[in-house]
Chains A and B, each alone.
Chain A
Amino acid sequence: MQVSVHNLSKSFGSVRANDRLTLRFEAGKIHGVLGENGAGKSTLMKLVAGFLRPDEGVIRFDGRDAALRGPGDALRAGVGMIHQDPLDLPAFTALENLLCATPRSAIASWAEGRRLLVELAGRLGFTVEPEMPVARLSIGQRQQLEIIRLLARGARVLILDEPTTGITAEQTRALFAALRQLAAAGNTVLFVSHKLEEVAALCDTVCVLRAGRLVGEQMGMPVPQAVLLGLMFDTAVAAVRGAEAPPAGDGGTLEPPVTRPVAGEVVWRLEGVTAREGAVTLRNLNLEVPAGRVLGLAGLDGSGQQLLLRLLAGHARPDTGRVLVGSTDLTGAGSRAYRAAGIEYLPADRLAEGVIGALSLSDHFALQQTGRLVDRRQAERAAREAIAAYGIKATPVTPINALSGGNQQRAMLALVPPRCRGLACEQPTRGLDVASARTIWHSLLARRADGCAIVFASADLDELIEYSDEVLVFFAGQISPPLPRAQLSVARLGELIGGVGFAEGGTT
């Protein structure tokens, strides 16, 4: 079945997730949809699968307008979506999952369901069995079950949203083989990914989204990687901008000092650390972060940067290896011990992990007091000083959740005690406008000048290049060697983030 969208738009608040997209996906082919995080790929797919309703524009199946009121309508039309986290029922067995809410016209009886499950699994090379409880299946197997379920329901268009995240190389191979087989049988496959090599290996056509817009019209594969990267990360534009203006020109007054403060003592040292969290595993990691160093962590969300930051702050424990702060071994200690050693963690989700929304800035300073009774006056004085020093637009008694994102971030920074030796920040400027981001970096670099080591993760390549002394690139738990700032460019970073140059087989 051919799927096409015309002038499709969808906004969330002030963000245009999809901006007048017009695309056509022919039957019998595998279509790659590329783009970095937040490019609008998932929104487009959810629109086609009926999970979201478009603000404007139409979706057509085989040339006929489809007014989808929900995923049920899309399913009846033959369009099924497999979500990144499969939307199945962990409490049920595989067979029960297959039968749940599947109409009798598709599967008449339990016996037929069982037969169909075994048959389709055999044909597609999948390893799901009817009586297996879904809670015990791996993500890869749950995906396989969802594919079988959609096919059994008569889906002729399969949408897969980042299907290879968190599945083994073996399962990826089985998945790709099955998708090719399905496409050859006349089905349409939409494959959403940010991994260039997978798209190159699997897809017949590719289109590229960036910031909700279609920047790469549908192209027949193969397309040179450099072209795709250029479209995904806008390097062409960056290169032009770099040629026109000297790079330091628009940097203005806040250009970081190039001379590094005395690099003597080591703040963090990781020795042979292996750690696991969710689908990400970091293996045998050795790392030294000296005082006064800014280390940037690049990579797509969930490639291991967050885990490293959490390891550095004592929020995650390594399975093997040692974590040293200064010369003290803090392996396995809690975050309290890390804080005592002068390590602070600034999470990306400020209101969930960083500050307490309902409390004011002076309340937060009161929380840091050590006495049994709250010294209101001292707390308020500290808050006033912080407000002045960090330019926070608030009074000492404004609840934190009434502040803007930039002011919340500044407040969080202001709460970092002055004797801090190491700062682990997750996306310190996420969601902030340019001016706020600059102020944040101004404060961070001031800390650095005092000899504080800073490790930060960011999705913004320009930010990484501008402020890091060195950058580590993460790809599915693998880590590049530290890349000095002089060797970096947006294009090079983009390639590394897309997995170019990383050894194969490490994507477990």
Chain B
Amino acid sequence: MDQTTIFVAAVLAAAAPLIFATMGETLTERAGVVNLSLDGTILMGAMIAFAVALNTQSVLLGFGAAALTGALIALVLCFLSLSLRQSQTAVGFVLALLCTELSSFLGAPFVRVPGPAVPFLPVPGLANLPVIGPILFRHDLAIYTSFLLVPLVGWLLFQTRAGLTLRALGERPQAAYARGVPVVPMRYLVTVAGGALVGMAGAVYSLDLKQGWSYRHTFGAGWIALAIVIFGGWRPWRVALGCYLFAALEIMALRMQSVLSGLPTQVFQVAPFALMIAVLVLVNLAGSTHMSRRIGDLPPSLRRPAQALVDRLAAPAPAALGQPFERP
């Protein structure tokens, strides 16, 4: 196996928890709800998954418990923001902080205890294919699931009737209501399901990629995931690309540390964020009215391809993102 293959395989694996978290958040935000509690939810998911798996010696139960934890935290967010009409931002933020501290407190007995992990499971036959074998088929079930999750969410959002309804909740809940959709219950459902995925992201850390539990085990992952969802324009494929890009930069930063010892490692740690901000600005510029005016000024032969490019790049947020729904 050459270096590149190993690198690509490592990136695909390292991005798995981010994929779980971002896909959950993409669904949630497409339905118009911002779940800002991601970082805390992932920590709680990781801690609970490890604790349950350790006590039951069942990795599967660990994942189930993590999903349940994520769903429960999302339910609290829903109740406070959708039913009691408090600010989604404030509630989510407080939940993130609360869950972070709670995970440290409740997880204290499990710090640096060895425990079970997701078993390595190369796909029989396919794993021996040249190049793609080691890249795609020599992982474990959690990582295979992350591969399937992206097309699954994409298909759900853009190819199914249910996806249309889900997106309508985030674009214009009044229009969904006019069509007879129970807006608030549906938003509950999607947010809780999305929260379950986010909780499982924690399990992917503690039972797979970063096995075990320690103080603030996954700290920061949730905030990165939130940024990647925006960077990806709420489109699953682009969001996934963001996850892989981020994982690649992280791994490179680790390796470069020894190669470019003169450069401070912080440069590499910060690079993904700087890159993300640059892309965000570009994406938002492409969708602005200023840009459409500029395109109008172009000669007619260039106008159409330029418009097509901008349409492809522009990734507007769901129009009703974060907005409460008021019955007329």
Contacts and interface: CB of A to CB of B under 8 A. Distances in A.
Contacts of A104: 161
A46 B328 contact: yes
A101 B171 contact: no
B168 A101 contact: yes
A76 interface: yes
B303 interface: no
Interface stretch (A91-99, A260-268, A382-390): A91-99
A100 interface: yes
B179 A72 contact: yes
B181 A72 contact: yes
Given A46-B328, A52-B328, A92 B179 contact: no
Contacts of A332: none
A75 interface: yes
A374 interface: no
B179 A70 contact: no
Most chain A Cβ neighbours within 10 Å, of B164, B165, B177: B164
Contacts of B174: 87
Contacts, number: 64
Interface in A71-91: 71-73, 75-76, 81, 83, 87-91
Nearest to A149: B179
B180 A89 contact: no
B245 interface: no
A51 interface: yes
A87 B172 contact: yes
A91 B171 contact: yes
A436 interface: no
A102 interface: yes
A92 B180 contact: no
Given A46-B328, A92-B164, A72 B319 contact: no
Interface in A96-121: 96, 99-102, 104
A101 B181 contact: yes
A92 B178 contact: no
The interface size bin for chain B is 20 to 34
Interface string B174-191: 111111111000000000
Given A75-B179, A75-B180, A89 B168 contact: yes
B180 A71 contact: yes
B60 to A, nearest CB: 34
B326 to A, nearest CB: 12
A101 B328 contact: no
A71 B177 CA distance: 7
B296 to A, nearest CB: 14
B171 A71 contact: no
A71 B164 contact: no
Contact of B178 (A87, A91, A96, A99): A87
Instruction: Report which residue of B161, B176, B179, B316 has the largest number of chain A beta carbons within 10 angstroms of its beta carbon.
Output: B179
Contact of B164 (A72, A81, A90, A101): A101
A92 B328 contact: no
- 4 closest A-B pairs by beta carbon, nearest first, are A72-B180, A101-B179, A100-B164, A87-B178
24 contacts: A46-B328, A51-B328, A52-B328, A71-B178, A71-B179, A72-B180, A72-B181, A76-B180, A83-B178, A87-B172, A89-B167, A89-B171, A89-B172, A91-B318, A92-B168, A92-B171, A96-B164, A99-B164, A100-B165, A100-B176, A100-B179, A101-B168, A101-B179, A102-B161
Interface of B: 161, 164-165, 167-168, 171-172, 174-182, 316, 318-319, 327-328
